[in-house]
Amino acid sequence: MTEWTEPAADDPFGLHNLPLCATRDGWVGVRAGELILNLGAAEEAGLLDAGGAFTRAGTLNRFLATGRPTWTRVREQLTDLFTGLSTGTAGAPHRAAVEAMLHPVAGTALALPFEVADYVDFYSSEEHAKNLSRLFRPDSPSLLPNWKSLPIGYHGRAGTVVVSGTDVPRPHGQRKAPDEERPSFGPSRRLDIEAELGFVVGAPSTGPVGVDDFRAHVYGAVLVNDWSARDIQAWEYQPLGPFLGKSFATSVSPWVVSLDALEPARAAAPVQDPPVLDYLREAERYSYDIRFEVFWNGTLVSRPPYAGIYWTPAQQLAHLTANGAWARTGDLYASGTISGATPEETGSFIERTWNGAHPVRLDDGSTRSFLEDGDTVTISAAARCAGGPADGTMIGFGEVRGTVVTRV
């Protein structure tokens, strides 16, 4: 039996967060401090009511599909349950029953938290778009004419979304450097990362989702590493967009942080100029103050800031369904690489090293421009609450980690 201990008020995984997960043992849970409550067991015991969505569930999909009234009710039930445990109002026998359902975070193997339906990746950081344009198309204007008119994106590969900790075999493909006469096939020589925030659709739609209906459909967010083979990408992406340079693997963090938890971390989104079309115009426009850190073999190399993203997740969902496409439970759509104004705030290594012109020095004395086999990348993030009683408190996302291995 695991003894309940109340997480500290400033714990990034304190009771203001309550992120959800799925385990390799086939049950779903909620994190409180360093413990995970088995939600299926708790529901079967009558400690909470998600309409059966947690009972014998191996992923979060059934709960995601229930929609916002149930999400809100369950969050309140969980808060009451944990608060009751801490204050003792739940009673001693009750406490023993709950403790039988608690598992330490350390030692619990986590799985992909939800079955991914469709995966879309956007391109919504203005600094990143400008940097990539300079690197890929040095002779063209820094932003293409459509960039400030619509959130640019592409459909990725849902079947290769993997949970943090999964090794990433180096992709093979066609590549042709500018100084090479002919393309060749082989392992990528310019393997990179993209630090992103991914949004998880819960309640489905049978048509367009209005820009102000974002919170009715989206449950929460995860961290995303959109691994990218720049040499394969550069040779294939014109005229139809990213394909095999991206689809070999996309890593996500195991914790799904709810939009409810992120509410106190709302931040102003950039003013859009020129004004957007009506279907993208928000009654209330906001982003989230989420601060990322990127570690290369343990060395902190960048701190990308999410708050300044040009296209908000509400606009992204409105745009991706504007043609009549349905939103489905388990849809994952990512922000696009998050980059700030300085090299130390960029969310990819091609930007951080300026295509290898400025390699980074790691703590072990080695230098890097692109990923080598055996390299581990860890992206972590936390949202910062502003104002109110939670002012300054962090909401943890944990991390998304992956190691590049030689493909056999």
Q: Which residue ranges make up the site for Mn ion (CB under 5 A)?
A: 121, 194, 226
Classify residue 243 as exposed, middle or buried by CB count within 10 Å of its CB (0-12, 13-18, 19+). Answer: middle
Q: Which is nearer to Mn ion, 121 or 289 (CB)?
A: 121
Query: To which H or E segment does residue 75 belong?
Result: helix 68-87
CB 255 within 8 A of CB 397: yes
CB 368 within 8 A of CB 360: yes
Nearest distance, CB of residue 272 and Mn ion, angstroms: 21
DSSP conformational letter for 114: S
Picking from 372, 348, 369, 366, the residue whose alpha carbon sits closest to that of residue 358 is 369
Nearest distance, CB of residue 408 and Mn ion, angstroms: 27
CB 202 within 8 A of CB 166: no
CA angle (157 as vertex; 151, 163 as ends), nearest 5: 105
Q: Which is nearer to Mn ion, 4 or 227 (CB)?
A: 227
Q: Which is nearer to Mn ion, 41 or 197 (CB)?
A: 197
Q: Which is nearer to Mn ion, 118 or 121 (CB)?
A: 121
Nearest distance, CB of residue 290 and Mn ion, angstroms: 16
Phi, psi dihedrals of residue 391, rounded to the nearest 5°: -50, 125
- How many residues in total does the chain contain? 408
Dig out the tokens for 210 from the structure.
């209005």
Nearest distance, CB of residue 128 and Mn ion, angstroms: 9
Q: Which residues are catalytic?
A: 128
CB within 8 Å of 279: residues ≥ 6 apart: 208, 210, 211, 318, 319, 322
| Residue 123, amino acid | Y
Q: Which is nearer to Mn ion, 129 or 382 (CB)?
A: 129
Q: DSSP secondary structure string, 131-154? A: HHHHHH-TTS-SS-TTTTTS--EE
Q: Which is nearer to Mn ion, 23 or 380 (CB)?
A: 380
Nearest distance, CB of residue 378 and Mn ion, angstroms: 18
Helices (H), 142-289: 214-217, 230-236, 259-262
> Distance between CA 89 and CA 53 in Å, rounded?
27
SS3 content of the chain, % helix, strand, coil (to 5): 25, 25, 50
> Distance between CA 32 and CA 14 in Å, rounded?
6
Nearest distance, CB of residue 86 and Mn ion, angstroms: 41
Q: Which is nearer to Mn ion, 36 or 294 (CB)?
A: 294
